[in-house]
Chains A and B, each alone.
Chain A
Amino acid sequence: MLQKLNQSASDEAGQQVEVWDLPIRLFHWAFACLTLAALLTGFYAPEWWLDRHLLIGAGLGGLLVFRIVWGFAGGRFARFSSFAYSPRALFTHLRRMLSGAPEHHLGHNPAGAMMVFALLLMVALMGISGLLALGGVEKEGPLAWLVDFESGWLSLRLHRFGAYLIAAMLVLHVAGVILQSRLEGQNLARAMITGRKRLLNEHLPPRIHKQLSRTDVAARNRSSVRPGRALAFALFLILTLAAFLEALSGLPVRGARALTMPASFRSECGDCHMAYHPALLPAASWRAIMDGLEDHFGEDATLDEAIRAEIERALIANSAETWDTKASHFFRVVDPAEPKRITRTPGWRARHAAIPAKVFKQKSIASKSNCGACHRDARRGTFADRHISIPAPRPGKEIAKASSSNSAKERTK
């Protein structure tokens, strides 16, 4: 019996068989592209590209859901069960691979399988840490109701670390594919495009996969469920998840509140510069500012005592210590030499260090203190990444994305 099978098997050797079904191929390349795009936008894009980074993340989330469904309902080689190797199998594989006498697997080999699981898991974890960071730091997204700044900040650090890890894994993955291609004498990357692999003698008789002939392979490669149904189910899951996350995004943001300031604040502190959000400095700094209005950064900003006291009270009641926004955390610690300046706090300087001094001097900005020139949401005190845009040197021309007409409106308000 075995003899006969072996016989028919060697007849089949050298033939092309379809291993990767179309959905898995599409998935693979979409996942590869989006992962790269996520890494690139995460590492290199300016802050105001966050929206795009999030869109890419959402795409990856959708792909993950599909992959999990397909891991149970997809073709033979797409199913998780077909490549859930034991650690021992992985170890044997690696040893033989390094000694130049590898095992051959028609589907994922143990090392490749390991990489698939690890990458899927890592990308899922990146999604979760990303949403935690988005919620805690940016106060946006489906977890903004749940996470405080500290946890969000920690998640952001883990998210960044994870990105390095994924980059390293991708390098390893590509190296593995190249090595295994050499050993098998066939281009495995192309196999992920065409879906076809050449059947090698070594694939037969495969002890682990019991596929034997080309027709057998094809037959067993078929989805166990009707693929249309599995895809529809994946789509349904994705939409449900999206709706759920969308609903969560509507919940009240943790630690957020509406700012209520006396009317005098906007009129008296908003003439020479935007009326800075009280969360931008700690109470001690506001007290110092309100006690020294005769020489307010080289200018006289004196007020009637009643109004002065009213504004001071409101500033202190809403000072940085009373908020959980990122700006309130960044600028809570002031420069002891100049405690009245937001723009001298270590947090402010670190975040604007990359901006050349001449940018601040340019006509459309004029001063570091003119937050609203670059932060369209400065008045709200949120300083969301998506609302950052540096205006062009000459008003009217644009270098950065967003619309300067918006920021101009915000400035003159």
Chain B
Amino acid sequence: MTKTSLLTTATALLMAIALDTAQAGPAQKAVLEHFAALAKNADTGFQGFSAERGKKLFFDQHSGGKPETPSCTTCHGTDPTKSGRTRAGKEIKPMALSRTPERFSDLKKVEKWFRRNCRNVMGRECTPLEKGDFITFMANQ
């Protein structure tokens, strides 16, 4: 890695963390850092995560996934501060970090659910950028 690229990575990381992730604790910051590093690897032009993009990901109707689940909101509901519900009827605690502070703190769990849910909704895995955006959005809720 060149000196400049190192520098940009560092800034990107800093930006990612410095973003208004007011609710994020150290565990969530570590998870975000992990995705930021991956995003940077995938795209050297990485400019940090965006809550706006995360919001769009969350609310958009996607295609390519399973017909039962066209959107993240199918299960998580349209209000991230409220509980959602699985198709089998079980309550899902709110995704907003302000409501469920233990969210996005366990990388393994986060990755497991991104893998499943992105495949369900979009028929593919989410990119590190999308994951970081999503978490950033939820950390602001």
A residues whose Cβ falls under 8 Å from a Cβ of B: 271-274, 297-303, 365-367, 369-370, 373, 411-412
Q: Is the CB of A299 within 8 A of B90?
A: no
- With an 8 Å Cβ cutoff, the count of chain B residues facing the other chain is 17
Shortest Cβ gap from A167 to chain B (Å): 40
Report the Cα distance A411→B85, complex, angstroms.
12
Closest 4 CB pairs of A and B: A366-B89, A370-B89, A273-B88, A300-B116
- Residues on A with C-beta less than 8 A from B86 are 271-273
Q: Is the CB of B66 within 8 A of A273?
A: no
Q: Which residue of B lies closest to A373 (CB)?
A: B89
With contact pairs A299-B120, A301-B116, A366-B85 given, residues A271 and B90 touching in the complex (Cβ less than 8 Å): yes
A–B complex contacts, Cβ < 8 Å, 29 sampled: A271-B86, A272-B86, A272-B87, A272-B88, A272-B90, A273-B90, A274-B90, A298-B66, A298-B67, A298-B68, A299-B66, A299-B68, A299-B69, A299-B87, A299-B116, A299-B120, A300-B66, A300-B116, A300-B120, A365-B89, A366-B85, A366-B87, A367-B87, A367-B89, A370-B88, A411-B89, A411-B90, A411-B91, A412-B90
With contact pairs A299-B120, A302-B116 given, residues A412 and B91 touching in the complex (Cβ less than 8 Å): yes
Q: Does B53 contact A (CB under 8 A)?
A: no
- Residues on A with C-beta less than 8 A from B88 are 272-273, 366-367, 369-370
Q: Does B62 contact A (CB under 8 A)?
A: no
Q: Does B99 contact A (CB under 8 A)?
A: no
* Cβ < 8 Å to A, chain B residues 80-121: 85-91, 112, 115-117, 119-120
Report the Cα distance A271→B75, complex, angstroms.
12
Shortest Cβ gap from B133 to chain A (Å): 21
- Residues on B with C-beta less than 8 A from A301 are 116
Q: Which residue of A lies closest to B113 (CB)?
A: A271
Report the Cα distance A373→B86, complex, angstroms.
13
Interface centre among A297, A300, A373 (most CB of B within 10 A): A300
Shortest Cβ gap from B64 to chain A (Å): 13
Q: Which residue of A lies closest to B123 (CB)?
A: A300
Shortest Cβ gap from B42 to chain A (Å): 22
- Residues on A with C-beta less than 8 A from B68 are 298-299
Interface centre among B69, B87, B88 (most CB of A within 10 A): B88
Report the Cα distance A271→B117, complex, angstroms.
13
Option from A272, A300, A411, A412 in Cβ contact (under 8 Å) with B115: A300
Q: Which residue of A lies closest to B75 (CB)?
A: A272
Report the Cα distance A118→B85, complex, angstroms.
57
Given contacts A273-B89, A299-B66, A411-B90, 13 further A-B contacts (CB under 8 A): A272-B87, A272-B90, A298-B66, A298-B69, A300-B116, A300-B119, A300-B120, A366-B85, A367-B88, A370-B88, A370-B90, A373-B89, A412-B91
- Residues on B with C-beta less than 8 A from A274 are 90
Shortest Cβ gap from A253 to chain B (Å): 29
Shortest Cβ gap from A247 to chain B (Å): 40
- Residues on B with C-beta less than 8 A from A411 are 89-91
Report the Cα distance A381→B122, complex, angstroms.
36
Interface centre among B68, B87, B90 (most CB of A within 10 A): B90
* Cβ < 8 Å to A, chain B residues 43-92: 66-69, 85-91
- Residues on A with C-beta less than 8 A from B120 are 299-300
Q: Which residue of A lies closest to B118 (CB)?
A: A300
Report the Cα distance A32→B89, complex, angstroms.
46
Shortest Cβ gap from B115 to chain A (Å): 7
- Residues on B with C-beta less than 8 A from A297 are 87
Q: Which residue of B lies closest to A294 (CB)?
A: B119
- Residues on A with C-beta less than 8 A from B66 are 298-300
- Residues on B with C-beta less than 8 A from A271 are 86, 90
Report the Cα distance A302→B67, complex, angstroms.
18
- Residues on B with C-beta less than 8 A from A369 are 88-89
Report the Cα distance A271→B68, complex, angstroms.
18
- Residues on B with C-beta less than 8 A from A300 are 66, 115-117, 119-120
Q: Which residue of A lies closest to B88 (CB)?
A: A273
- Residues on A with C-beta less than 8 A from B112 are 303
Q: Which residue of B lies closest to A267 (CB)?
A: B109
Interface centre among A274, A299, A373, A412 (most CB of B within 10 A): A299
Shortest Cβ gap from A406 to chain B (Å): 15
